[in-house]
Amino acid sequence: MSAERSKVTLVVDGVEVTADDGAMLVDAAKEGDVEIPVFCYEPKLGGPVGACRMCLVEIEGIPKLQTACSTPVRDGMVVYTRTDRVIESQSAVVEFLLVNHPLDCPVCDKGGECPLQDIAMGWGPGRSRMTEPKRHFRKPMPLSPLVRIDRERCILCYRCVRFSQDVAEDEQLQLLERGASSHVGTFDDHPYIAPFHGNIIELCPVGALTAEAYRFRARPWDIEDSGSVCTLCPSQCNVMFTVRDEHVQRVLARDNDDVDAGWLCDKGRFGFQMITSEERIVEPRVGGSRAGWEAALDAVAERLRSAGERTAAIVGGQTSNEEGYLIQRLLRGALGSANITSVDELEAGLARRLAAPELGAAVPDLDAAESILVVGTDPLNSIPILDLRIRRAIRQGRARLVVASERPTALDGGAEETARYAPGDAAGFLAALAAELGNRRQAGAGTPGRAADEVPGDGSDWAEGARRIAGELRPGKTVIVYGERLGRGPGGDSALASLLECARALDLATAGAGVIGVPEGANGRGLREVGCLPGAGPGFAEAPAGRGLDRIKQGLLDGELDAVVLVHADPIRNLPDGPGWAEALRRARTVIAVSAFDDASTETADIVFPAESYAEKEGTVTHPDGRLQRLRPAVPHPGNVHPIWQVLAELGARLGHETGIGSVPEAVATIAAEVPFYAGITPEEIGGRGVRWQERPAASAVAELAAVPPEQRTSRTNLDRDDSGTLTADRLRLGTYPALWADEITDRNVALRFLAPAQTVELAPSDGERLGLASGDEVEVRSNGTGVRARVALNERMRPGAVFLIEATAAENANALPAELNVEVIKP
Amino acid sequence: MPETRVLFRDIDAPGLATIQGYRDRGGYGALKRALHELEPDELLSSLEDSGLRGRGGAGFSMGKKGSFLPRGEMEKYLCCNADESEPGAFKDRELMQKNPHQLIEGCAIASLAVGATYAFVFIRGEYWEIADILDRAVGEAYDAGYLGADILDTGVRVELIVHRGAGAYICGEETALLDALEGKRGNPRLKPPFPAIQGLYGGPTLINNVETLSNVPHIVNNGADWFKGFGSEQSTGTKVVSVSGCVQRPGNYEIELGIPSREIIYGLAGGPPKGRRVKAWFPGGSSAPVLTEADLDLPYTFEDLAKAGSMLGSGSIIVADDTISIPELALRTARFYHHESCGKCTPCREGTNWTTKMLDRVVRGEATPMDLEIIAGVQEKIIGHCLCVLGDSMAMPVGSMVAKFRDEFEATIEAAREAGHGALDHSPLDRPLTTGAQAA
Amino acid sequence: MRPTDELTAAERRELIASMRPEDAEGVPALGELDVPAALREQIETAMARYPQLRSAAIPALWAVQRHYGWCTPQGVREAAAVMGVTPAYLEAVATFYDLIATSPIGRHRILVCHNISCWMNGADELLGAFCDAAGADRDDADQHGASSADGEFFVKGFECLGACDIAPMASIDQRYYGPLEAADAVAAIEALRDGEEPLSDKALALRPAAGGPDPSATERAPDAEGHDA
């Protein structure tokens, strides 16, 4: 994207080195195999601070020693890193750093992988003249239930504090006091609990911040590193599993600037305990009893054979491309059923158009965008690592952010404008936005535009919000991050069609601009692209229409479907109308579940196959921006768990549909042959960093994706607004949202359970006042005779008239309410 | 030798601190002249021609510093450094207390010169009553139209805000001052970027000391040549020197640079009490390496003091006579910098802390001559390695004391050894340095 | 030397069990706090003065300290809510500066300079005299400051206050007095107890320039008035 930076030549310790112009000396020196020691320097945290003074070097022509971390290279620069003066400064800084360090390496978790240890060995004086008492703190204190702090070991490099201030921007972790009394702490000793706080452990160059879960678990020589991708959410961060004795002990970031910029959220970092959970399903079960694989496969094959085209399958977001491909092939090829979908189903035509390669933005495009529109999603909840990415883009002053959503988002504070539409009104708002943007485009072209408030239909305040939002968006320089949830419900197709219109009006089909859709499931995009979509086969190929989620449920209830296969999917908990799903699964003649844990849906299953965890899986996934990434097994399968791709291939064979797939690379090759825009892709090409299919030559072969004619312009007036009702004292419009910590991952990891939110109903303060409710009140949210108990939280940024509940909580799940827009909030 | 009063002219005249009293003596005439008769570039070159060097310690040409600010339409700032906290310095306090309008006028003119719309006077929080005086004077200046959105109906905007610090010596370091003014902890910043390019709120910023800015109206009124008529070729103008410690008439004296130091210490400040002799003196605040009685005839200039291995700094002389224990003086000096170190960079944070602990042992009689080697060695390891000058500010005077008064340090150690550790009970530092968050 | 104070396993477990996500201190919601109107107004006025609102951090902390006597956690939280920052941010600022108290202190604040010039002129004795008169612990006073048992006084040995000309000196309730003797300490404490202005004859404000109010100095400066329009 950006032009190649010009190169400069300098001399470091007598070696000629070529480096990028503007690179910091410390990085440039590496080109000449010269290591300059650092502690505080960490480019991920922003600009250099020059605090630790470890990297002092001598530069010809400059009398004072300079910090290599903050000195940009210049052509012809002559640098010395091992002169007597420099060596003296290095040994001085090490000696100073150890003045108050306890030197407790034998009992320190960092021992063996500690920069302080390494640098003290490599650059230190080897002895200390310090005989004074060192400073003491109570230790090791829990900073949060997940992180412990040993302030005596701290060398005050500021990295953790800078992370909290300048990256996560939660500003909870601070340096307190001054001078030699400085220490890292929080307000009034409150815990530091924030969604990304685990990153400070990895940033710490000493053993001051340690993971509760990793303390005293392993030494570096006991462990192996295994690189893979986290599939616990659509961020798909690149991770490094620390494995000891075939168990995952730790998850570290495997920096990939194209994906995660080197950060992990706490779910990705600490959510590995479930891999070794005792509660895992580790062998097949038929009719509730343990069974061997042969028996289980026979049982399933027999039932599916009899169900035939009356079978449906629902694929969850943790499913890999290979698994997704094979399950759709099982249905379409072996059973003649088109009823295959994922939790991220979209109307096939829209899915196709949204996947157009020139319309897709890459994650790094956020860094250079002039404006960013976040619409219909809260990245913090749905794709956390993009929350950090967007914050960085704003902080660096390049991007102006606007947020349009039904519920307040974590990014609102950094937004130039926010528009808040009512739950279920996304389609109306986006239609108004598309009209406004279209008008501006026309006006720009010299044609007087129609004002947005002339949009037919009840625009309410959409036009006003649309005007404010549109005013901030720069044509050709905008990245839109949208929630694929916008496609849900009666107005969903219309909402996404309007989004496409917005993209067109903004000229987003250009380099550096575009859209990124945020799916619900980690591999939502990949699953659609390999054919887990009713009405479109692999590569969005034309395919017979099948049933989507709602019609699968209806089919099971009506008896029109006999069997349903759930792969990594728990519709009762995670989909709207959980009770409806429960009833549907109870009525189904056959329920087959592939799951790692027992849940409400597996309870209804006749046959259960144990699922692999993401650390055991081999295969590929596709990032929301189109980057194919490789999953590599880090640990062996526990118990009698088999690879799911193998199970699905075997099932196909038993049903007479031989796929010829005998390995994951063969599965990848088969997908590459069937999905035109993945053509020729191999695991080797994907490698450790992944590859965006839009940036491969094969992408051009599918330009017709974009050329698929849009369906007739979506009418804005036919939106189903009948049930919007009128606001009365006790009728409110309900919206639900996925909260970061409300899911089975939180529940399955003991260490994370404290984060699971109790059900909370959010209201605007004016509604709270009208209903006599205060924050903290216990209430019941009722709809059509069903109720969910929740605690009230008044939120000034909520839109009056709207209430929000959390989806997929372990108890009092909002999905337990019928799919109704209007609710009452009642004080028992 | 008498004083030469320019800034201190009529310093105790009744009413000088009021706008009327100031105007009665020609006050705000320079601002009018700067507004109506001079272009910003003329102002800057006149300041540069005058040779006015910064009075805060570094001694850099004020006009030149101002010329580093980029021209053009962007928000620029002026910061007046009134965080006077260097031990021995108290000249800015008296200037602000007794002639606040002289400073306000200087700030306004300097703002015009560099095109700043916001000027801040960062005054240390301890100077509360002085800040009250300044605030009152600023209010008067606003009412009279010398400050505000449209000063003297010329359409020029200069806002002046008196910002009170909250007690941290490091905020006198110009980049720490900026961080403090931005509402952060007052940590020094890495340079470059220099404040002239990227300072307050990321905008170009001129930072000058109170005394420097107080000179500005006089230069505008009387011209650069007039100013150069005072002082020496390299050190033009007058200088307010704060003299304190073991002298009979401590206080601020406005002198021409170049007079012998002895004239200041003895002639103006009266020297040590009868029967005592000067043992050591800091010529430029406590961060200057100490000089001895033998150095008293040095001309008091930036250059001569530098040649003698010390510095003029902010022009604050502290005199220690022969009743003063140099090891204890070293401890007081080190303790100050230990207390005031911001903690951001390693050599300063740990070096001041370590040095203080060692000197404390010397004073308590728990040290050995080998510790002196370490004390001297640690100072060398601090110098030139820190982010800002604070670490050096301890290392240089402490190093100089150990070097020049080695015999006294050794004698102190030996005497304490013979006395059997008698001083253990009442040292102020006999407990580890702790903070609230540390173990009770 | 004091041994490291290790947390016991039981203490640790109890501490961890007590930590809940909602205990993390983000930016407090203004609506959830009952911020005293006067305090809020002072902070908002400060915020409006500066081009960027965070510059009001120190003025806000001064306001909290004036309102509550010291920067109480509740006061800091209130200021944070008004400013839209985290309380941790303000605590980091507050603990950096010597004049902001983050634990309770006595009503009258007496800062006795114990830096070089004052020390050479008897600051240690003066500090002792203030401690004795006020009933504050001498050693604590020299370290972090000490309050009297009755909560009336806070005495602290302070680094250079910038008034070496009146050494030894003290700042009493933000006004400077000096040079002082031990007897002045007793008188000052008595006056404060009686609600009177202390040591009015020793106030810095009264002190003429050292060279005398009527200078014998040469006057080479031409009249500024010459240029006055």
How much of chain B exceeds pLDDT 70, in percent?
A: 95
Residue B173 and residue B26 share a domain: yes
User: CA–CA separation, C121 vs C119, rounded Å?
Assistant: 5
Report CB contact under 8 Å: B167, C160.
no
Given pLDDT bands bounded at 50, 70 and 90, which one contains residue A461? confident
Strands of the sheet containing C170-172, edge to edge, are C146-147, C153-158, C108-113, C170-172, C175-177
| H helical segments located in A44-132 | 84-97, 115-123
C57 contacts in chain B (CB < 8 Å): 183-184
Size of interface A-B (CB pairs under 8 A): 121
In eight-state DSSP terms, residue B235 is S
| Whether the Cβ atoms of residue A178 and residue B343 lie closer than 8 Å to each other | yes
The answer to whether the CB of C217 falls within 8 A of the CB of B238 is: no
Q: Can you list the domains of chain A with their CATH numbers?
A: 7-97 (3.10.20.740), 285-344+528-622+640-665 (3.40.50.740), 351-518 (3.40.228.10), 725-826 (2.40.40.20)
CA nearest B202 in A: which residue?
Answer: A397
Contacts of A191 in chain C (CB under 8 A): 19, 23-24
Residue of C nearest to A212 (CA): C16
* B48 and B129 inside one domain: yes
**Contact between chains at C92 and B185 (C-beta distance less than 8 A):** yes
Check CB contact under 8 Å for A174 and C92.
yes
Give the ipTM: 0.93
A48 contacts on B by Cβ (under 8 Å): 190
Instruction: Calculate the dihedral angle through the C-alpha atoms of A49, A55, A57, A62, rounding to the nearest 10 degrees.
Output: 10
pLDDT in tens, A611-621: 999 999 999 99
Contact B79, B118 (CB under 8 A): no
Q: What is the arrangement of strands in the sheet containing B278-282, beginning at the earlier edge strand?
A: B251-256, B238-245, B316-321, B278-282, B291-292
Residue A565 near residue A311 (C-beta atoms within 8 A): yes
- B433–A49 CB contact, under 8 Å: no
> Could you tell me if B167 lies within 8 Å of chain C, comparing CB atoms?
yes
Q: Of B228, B252, B282, at which residue does a domain stop?
A: B228
CA distance C166 to C171: 11
CB contact under 8 A, A135 and B433: yes
DSSP H helices in A265-406: 266-270, 293-307, 321-329, 348-354, 365-368, 379-382, 384-395
Rounded to a whole number, what is the distance in Å from the CA of A50 to chain B's nearest CA? 6
Query: Using a CB-CB distance cutoff of 8 angstroms, which residues of chain C are in contact with residue B92?
Result: 162
In this structure, the answer to whether residues B86 and B200 fall within a common structural domain is yes
Decide if B152 is inside a domain: yes
Structure tokens belonging to residue A446: 């010299």
Dmax (CA) of chain C: 82
pLDDT in tens, B265-293: 999 999 999 999 999 999 999 999 999 99
Q: Chain C residue with minimal CA distance to B82?
A: C162
Task: Please give the DSSP secondary-structure letter assigned to residue B70.
Answer: P
Looking at the partner chain, which of B351, B385, B436 has a beta carbon nearest the beta carbon of A56?
A: B385
Distance, CA of A552 to CA of A582 (rounded, Å): 13
Residues written for chain A: 828
| CATH code for position B166 | 3.40.50.11540
- Residue B205 confidence (pLDDT) above 60: yes
Picking from B284, B301, B319, the residue at the C-terminal end of a domain is B319
Q: Are residues B67 and B82 in the same domain?
A: yes
At residue B297 the predicted structure's pLDDT band, cuts being 50, 70 and 90, is: very high
Is B183 close to C57, i.e. CB distance below 8 A?
Answer: yes
- Note down the domain range covering B258: 238-319
B353 CB neighbours in chain A (<8 A) are 99-100, 179-180
- Residue A336, pLDDT > 80, answer yes
Residue A723 has pLDDT above 50, yes or no: no
Domain membership flag for residue B223: yes
Q: Decide if B131 contacts B164 (C-beta within 8 A).
A: yes
Record the tokens describing residue A686, joined without a space: 């994907």
Residues of C in contact with A134 (CB under 8 A): 1
Q: Look at C4 and A152 and tell me if their CB atoms are within 8 Å.
A: yes
The DSSP letter of residue A165 is I
CB contacts of C92 in chain A (<8 Å) are 174-176
Q: Is the pLDDT of residue B428 over 90?
A: no
B77 burial (CB, 10 Å; 0-12 / 13-18 / 19+) is buried
> What pLDDT was estimated at residue C214?
53
**B113 and B202 fall within a common domain:** yes
Beta bridge partners of A400: A371
Mean pLDDT score across all residues of chain A: 93
- Confirm whether B5 is domain-assigned: no
Q: Any chain A CB within 8 A of the CB of C160?
A: no
pLDDT score of A445: 61
| Residues of chain B positioned with their CB less than 8 A from the CB of C59 | 163-164
pLDDT at A444: 77
HSE (side-chain half, CA atoms, 13 Å) at A211: 24
- A712: pLDDT strictly greater than 80: no
Tokens representing A542 are: 């034309």
Nearest CA in chain B to C115: B332
CB-based contact B436 C162, cutoff 8 Å: no
Q: Is some CB atom of chain B closer than 8 A to the CB atom of C93?
A: yes
pLDDT at A499 over 60: yes
CB distance A54–B342 less than 8 Å?
no
| Cis ω before A538 (30° cut-off from 0) | no
Instruction: Tell me if B2 is assigned to some domain.
Output: no
| Of residues B303, B326, B321, the one with CA closest to residue B399 | B326
Is C13 an 8 Å CB contact of chain A? no
> What pLDDT, on a 0 to 100 scale, did the predictor assign at position A730?
53
Environment class of B390 (CB within 10 Å of its CB; exposed 0-12, middle 13-18, buried 19+): buried
Strand partners, A607: A286, A592
pLDDT at residue C228 tops 60 = no
Q: Which of A174, A177, A765 sits opposite C88 (nearest CB)?
A: A174
Contact yes or no for A187 and C73 at CB 8 A: yes
Please answer whether residues A250 and A216 qualify as being in contact, where contact means their C-beta atoms are separated by less than 8 angstroms: no
Q: Mean pLDDT over residues A166-175, rounded?
A: 97
- What is residue C224's predicted lDDT score, i.e. its pLDDT? 40
Chains B, C: CB contacts within 8 A come to 238
Q: Do A741 and A789 meet the contact criterion of CB atoms below 8 Å apart?
A: no
- Write out the two tokens for A535: 């009405």
Q: A117-163, pLDDT tens digit by residue? A: 999 999 999 888 999 999 999 999 999 999 999 999 999 999 999 99
What chain C residue is nearest to A195 in terms of C-alpha separation? C21
Using alpha carbons, select from B383, B334, B339 the residue that is nearest to residue B356.
Answer: B334
CA distance A524 to A519: 5
Q: Which chains touch B (3 or more CB pairs under 8 A)?
A: A, C
Q: What is the pLDDT of residue A674?
A: 95
Q: Are residues B336 and B250 in the same domain?
A: no
Reduce the DSSP state of residue B376 to 3 states and report it: helix
Q: What pLDDT, on a 0 to 100 scale, did the predictor assign at position A726?
A: 41
Inspect the interface and report whether the beta carbons of B201 and C205 lie closer than 8 Å.
Answer: no
Tell me, what's the pLDDT at A647? 97
Are C62 and B166 within 8 A, CB to CB?
yes
| CATH number of the domain residue B269 falls in | 3.10.20.600
Residue A17 confidence (pLDDT) above 90: yes
Nearest-5° Cα angle at A776, A772 to A782: 65
Q: Chain A closest CA to C216's CA: distance in Å? A: 46
Only one residue has tokens 């067109």, namely A504
CA gap A520, A574 in Å, rounded: 10
Strands in B186-288 per DSSP E: 205-209, 238-245, 251-256, 278-282
**How many independent structural domains does chain B possess?**
3
CA dist A259 and A362 (Å) reads 9
Integer Rg of chain B from CA: 23
Q: Is residue B127 part of a domain?
A: yes
CA A141 to chain C, closest CA, distance in angstroms equals 7
Residue A5 confidence (pLDDT) above 90: no
The fold of C108-205 is: Glutaredoxin (3.40.30)
Residue of C14, C25, C97, C102 best to disrupt the A interface, most CBs of A under 10 A: C25
> How far is the C-alpha of A574 from the C-alpha of B39, rounded, in Å?
71
Q: Report if residue B377 sits inside a domain.
A: yes
* Cβ <8 Å between C15 and A141: yes
Do B179 and B270 fall into the same domain?
A: no
Taking CB atoms and an 8 Å limit, are A92 and B347 in contact across chains?
A: yes
Confidence of residue B420 (pLDDT cuts 50, 70, 90): low
E strand or H helix at B219: helix B210-222
**Would you call B338 and A64 a contact, using CB atoms and an 8 Å cutoff?**
no
Are residues B165 and B295 located together in one domain of the fold?
A: no
Is A133's Cβ below 8 Å from some Cβ in B?
A: yes
DSSP letters, B266-292, are IIIT--SSTT--EEEEESSSTTSPPEE
- Using alpha carbons, select from C204, C134, C208 the residue that is nearest to residue C169: C204
Higher pLDDT among residues A731 and B187, named by residue:
B187
C205 close contact with A: CB closer than 8 A: no
Classify B138 as helix, strand or coil: helix
Closest-CA residue of chain A to C74: A188
- Average of pLDDT values for A505-529? 97
Q: Given this model, what pLDDT does residue A460 score?
A: 57
Phi/psi of residue A275, each to 5°?
-60, -35
Q: How far apart are CA C88 and CA C98, in angstroms?
A: 17
* pLDDT at C8 exceeding the cut of 90: no
Tracing tokens 């009177």 back to the chain, one arrives at: C196
Could you state, in order of their start, the residue ranges of all structural domains in chain C? 25-96, 108-205
Are both B69 and B151 inside the same structural domain? Answer: yes
From chain B, the residues in CB contact with C50 under 8 A are 161
Q: How confident is the model at residue A489 (pLDDT cuts 50, 70, 90)?
A: confident
Looking at the structure, tell me whether residues B368 and B270 fall in a common domain: no
Do B294 and B372 share a domain, yes or no? Answer: no
The reported pLDDT for the residue numbered C62 is: 98
B220-257 per-position pLDDT tens digit: 999 999 999 999 888 899 999 999 999 999 999 999 99
Which one has a higher pLDDT value, B73 or A2? B73
Strands across the sheet with A56-59, in order? A15-20, A7-12, A78-80, A56-59, A66-67
DSSP secondary structure string for all residues of A217-280: T--GGG-EEEEEE--SSTT--EEEEEEETTEEEEEEE---TTTTTT---HHHHHTTGGGG-TT-
Query: Of A230, A240, A82, A207, nearest to A139 (Cα)?
Result: A207
How far away is chain B from the Cα of A63, in angstroms, using its nearest Cα? 10
DSSP A333: I
Residue A679's pLDDT band (cuts 50, 70, 90): very high
DSSP for chain C, written as a single string: -PPP-BPPHHHHHHHHHH--GGGS--SPPGGGS---HHHHHHHHHHHHHSSSGGGGHHHHHHHHHHHHSS--HHHHHHHHHHHTS-HHHHHHHHHHSTTS-SS---SEEEEEE-SHHHHHTTHHHHHHHHHHHHT--HHHHHHT-EE-TTSSEEEEEES--S-GGG-S-EEETTEEE-S--HHHHHHHHHHHHTT--TTGGGBGGGPPPTT-SS---B--PPPGGGG--
CA distances from A214 to A147, A272, B143, B352 (A): 10, 11, 66, 36
B10 belongs to a structural domain: no
In the predicted model, what is the mean pLDDT of residues C117-143? 97
User: Shortest CA distance to C88 belongs to which of A536, A382, A160?
Assistant: A160
Question: Are B292 and B398 part of one and the same domain?
Answer: no
- What's the pLDDT at B1? 55
Contact B222/C58, CB-based, under 8 Å? no
The CATH class given to the C25-96 domain equals mainly alpha
Question: Residue type at A343?
Answer: V
CB atoms within 10 A of CB B48: 17
pLDDT at residue A685 in the model: 97
Question: B146 in a domain, yes or no?
Answer: yes
